[in-house]
Structure 1
């Protein structure tokens, strides 16, 4: 049973806006989830927003507006915001230096300009001014008051802080005041209804703002707006109501009779007789304002209440009579039918409102249609080894029986088989069946240990899994795989339940067989780099060095032993010096990064060439580039891709004319590749 108080508002006009005030957003303005706040412009370039009150003020009466304004955190931001009074809304004015209010005719604007625009008459500090008719260009129309510094003392207003902002209008004294952080900043003595609004007293209040090339978040938070009218309420006898005063730091309610506390903002009131409560509110700046509440108790005449009972159900074809008799006042059912009883023939939510003009009560009951159980458990299914299936009938019922005679509402399946569940009620019985199968996990696949093979051309990998349940690393699904080069190979199998995976590294290598015999000519004073490359091998020269190449400048026989896991080869060559008369110029580094500067490596020959064969090796002695074109330029690629950074060896075998003879000449060196 629910009892509800009926609060009857009096005929007095009310405009006392608290943290529940409503306003509308326009342009780029956004709602703020914190308190009664709104973001006028986000911290983005070229934004223009406005926030307007939904209700109008009557400036023939006193008006107070108090809240907090935030002008951003960026001292170089732009452009500013403005508080507006205007007889129309649903619009945004000129952006940029117009602060969103520019050219709003018949408006009163308090501008907060945080960006220096000398071309429109701005002073060189964050300022505020009272402006008429949207004339934001102070060179064309001077403000009606100001400009003055926004922050008392002339400080930076874009200080990432909220500032107290208060506007006050006294139509008796014809005085309009603007306060910031508890100090009077602007004042205007005159009839603003006549001077600004052509004797039209009804206006909306709002905020506008704009950004340009520079930006700032700009927002406001409303704390209180009061048009000077009071509240009259009528409440039932014995009821308690919370009175709501505007925000402040001190409150003085009179009289104190019937109040829970006369010094708090929102005391609880339970007057026994008609009482007029007055409160004087003092805010943090020391300002005071008054509000009034007129409370008039009314008698409580509710005597008896007969609820509709607990939620229930009935079978198809039946009906149910709801009875609310015994209540002396009028009963209205959910479909607006008036009476003490209601005949239910369809399932649904039914309620009755019972009231006597002061106190209202409502009771409701959910009536469902009961049918014979139509139990549903999952369709026939296949599970993976080790999985379990929870069988839970839908719709959920407590009274069930499973194939094994158990009566738990949930049955756990962990083996293959056929399972059923049944249930019955006053309207009939139902049953459902499911068959469950299981799939075993795949056996582990084993390709063996990593292996290295010498002087063979291929290696066969085999797997013992059903065809169609596995694949090799290249997507093939044959039972065996032919390996023809060094690499990592893997096979994986899956049957939808389990996954079997194995990999193997296979290294195919050959015993070194380098053609290094014979004579190697070189130019005197130049030398030659000897190279006997073989993949994945180590080197031992007759001088104890272990590099893949060796630079020599003197004649002699040079021997190197080339070794790998497949064997070793010892070879020699005779280095013979000749007077070549040919100079080869080679850079020491290049950067093939595509910037057009030093992107390629090439040789320059100062002689008359007959032939030149250029070879480039990596640090392991593997050939990465070769050309018989003397003008060859290496771009730093290997096998169609970018070579890694590091040191590479080069050699060149040239034939050139010298003293009417063709000289065969070899030279080598190193080049550093950087990206």
Structure 2
């Protein structure tokens, strides 16, 4: 950063005035120099080719020579010369660091930014400049102060925080757990604040592990040492729900080829899973070819407990029989039919076995029946 003015003087009788160089720009790489000769001469001719009494040089370099030939109305002529001077560097402003400060709510305090080479100190949030600032800390606030150098080229910014304890102290959000589960509650406080107490439990650490049987509100009180203790609350809700109770028959008998529409009904039912079928929901249609058991997983309304059931489908086959071709011969024959526990058998000789010993020629018939029909 650089000084603003330098003058070179050369005289031509009482009418001629000196050449003056003014550094009007302020910042490095954007400095401008204004070279001035008193107005009123008849003619001007600069070594840059300009013909006015004043010229502007962009980004002038120290040591560069400039000259102007001036001619008065009386015919007096002279050449004035000078060079761009060395620029004097300006010291940059620098704030001293200010530590974040914990204050009680609605505190009024004076803030005095200090440092070196400070000029105009501007408080950004307050919108004014001063040496000291009265801050009214209703809530936590981040403060910004700015000080430029004399030319406005360099500036320094001071940033620090005023923490109101209720804002500076953070606690775990409310929690929801299942019966028997535990959860860790924690509080974040500045390092200087270590005097705290949790209730219920009378615990002193920043983190506590709790496992309440019922929904509980936990209080933590932090002593700030500034006569404004802070209390924070955390609610731990224990999800209680009645167990699942089904109001339906879990055993069904059908005939081969029939289908079953299952609709799970009961109390305390949340989500229903059919793990063997990759299905979710209370309704299901099945058509088993053989007797089969279908597992059901039911999550209760609290989503904490899972109840396992099996839906049993008993499939009765439609009766059938195959004696093969008629046969001849003198030997005894044994007629047999499939043996199923649920089938009823009646031969034309009124026996009810699954077999009949034939000792003579004749027509033999059997009636087989069950819940699904007969032949």
Task: Give the TM interval when normalised to the shorter protein.
Answer: 0.3 to 0.5
Question: TM-score, length-normalised on structure 1?
Answer: 0.27
Q: Which structure would you say has the larger Rg?
A: 2
Question: TM-score, length-normalised on structure 2?
Answer: 0.44
